[in-house]
Amino acid sequence: NQAMRFGELQPWAIEISDSIRDAVISSHQDVDLDHPMELGSCNGLHEASPFPFPSHLLSRNPLFDQLIVNLYHPGEGICAHVDLMRFEDGIAIVSLESSCVMHFNRVDEGTTSDKDHDNAQSMNMKIPVYLTPGSLVLMYGEARYVWKHEINRKPGFQKWKGQELQQKRRISITLRKLA
Ligand code: AKG
């Protein structure tokens, strides 16, 4: 249920990559860069929101040279993980077909004492992010390196605003750049 590609991407994937670049450039115009929305800032609920992707990542060429397509049947998801260090910062995930909730929780490195970390530790907090079909996750910086992401589609774990989501087949396309 997984296909990978390394190196030059196929034309359809280059089109997606170009659309991601365009979407990011236009979100830079919409977002107040002095006050970007931060993970954990919105009553614990996170819908897709414009995020300023750092411009030095946008200028790399190619933007992505590795992709994974994952196909999940209802009930299937992916365990909590941080993507391998062989990939650069700046990872994109396009979500298709079924809505789902991706959870983020902070890696316990035992040293940081910032507010998010204290909160996440004391409440064993998992931050839910709602992904509708067509949504784009951009992970960079702390979200890429010190937060794990997971999708648990076992019964009872896919709740959004108190309602269990109806699951269908889900496909995701993850785009990364080899370090
Ligand atoms: C991965 O392939 O490493 C992912 O995290 C995929 C996540 C997803 O399916 O949305």
Spatial distance between the Cα atoms of 26 and 53, rounded to a whole number of angstroms: 11
pTM, to two decimals: 0.83
Name which residue sits closest to atom 10 of ligand 1, judged by CA: 172
pLDDT band for 43, please (50, 70, 90 cuts): very low
Mean pLDDT of 38-64: 64
Name which residue sits closest to atom 1 of ligand 1, judged by CA: 174
Residue 97: closest CA among 150, 152, 165: 165
Mean pLDDT of 91-117: 81
> How many CA atoms lie within 13 Å of 135's alpha carbon, on the beta-carbon side?
18
> Which of 152, 170, 174 maximizes ligand 1 atoms within 8 Å of its Cβ, making it the mutation to test the pocket?
174
Token output for 92: 């994109």
> Which of 6, 149, 170 maximizes ligand 1 atoms within 8 Å of its Cβ, making it the mutation to test the pocket?
149
- Percentage of the residues of the chain whose pLDDT score is greater than 70: 77
Give CA 162 to chain center in angstroms: 22
Enter the DSSP assignment of 33: T
pLDDT digits (tens, 9 = 90+) for 2-33: 999 999 999 999 999 999 988 888 776 665 55
pLDDT band for 34, please (50, 70, 90 cuts): low
pLDDT band for 61, please (50, 70, 90 cuts): very high
Name which residue sits closest to atom 8 of ligand 1, judged by CA: 172
Spatial distance between the Cα atoms of 71 and 3, rounded to a whole number of angstroms: 9
